[in-house]
Amino acid sequence: AAAGILSIIFPGTGALYNGQIAKGIFYMILFAGLITIQGGGGGQPFKALLLAGFYFFQIIDSIQVAKTINLNAAGLKPADGPTGQGLPELVPSGSIFWGLFLIVLGVLLILANFEIILYEDLFRFWPAVVIAIGLKLVAESVAKSKKGN
């Protein structure tokens, strides 16, 4: 019940209470972003429904995870069941690719903030990000298959 109440007060705090730090911080950032886009131009009914849907989703998610944690602690669920231990690690630590990707992205955004380059120019090249990630995935797959042989 505490996780649900905390989620009602401020989105993301229920996940923090459940020990899901990354998920809680992600929910807080997502909630702040959804609030921020409410003031923007068009698409308002969709934006409002998206915000409301996320708000109620994170409450239900926190309650369900708390129930799972409590049942696991009581020994009523198998240990291999869902434990609600947070989001899977999306970016493995120590990855050179993701480190360089974030550095390049940060440099580009700083340059755009100082109007050395324009945001419009950056947004025109967003498919390059998809291509780079795809190349990384293909390279990892090839390396993995070579290890297997």
pLDDT tens digits along 61-88 = 999 999 988 888 888 865 555 555 554 4
Q: How many domains does the chain have?
A: 2
**Same domain? 61 vs 115:** no
Residue 51: name the closest of 80, 11, 20 by CA. Answer: 11
pLDDT confidence band for 24 (50 / 70 / 90): very high
Predicted pLDDT at 87:
46
pLDDT at 42 over 80: no
Domain hosting 109: range is 96-148
Whether 44 and 12 map to the same domain: the answer is yes
> Average of pLDDT values for 125-138?
87
What digits encode the pLDDT tens for the residues 107-116? 988 988 888 9
Domain end call among 74, 107, 132:
74
Record the pTM.
0.54
* 64 and 19 housed in the same domain: yes
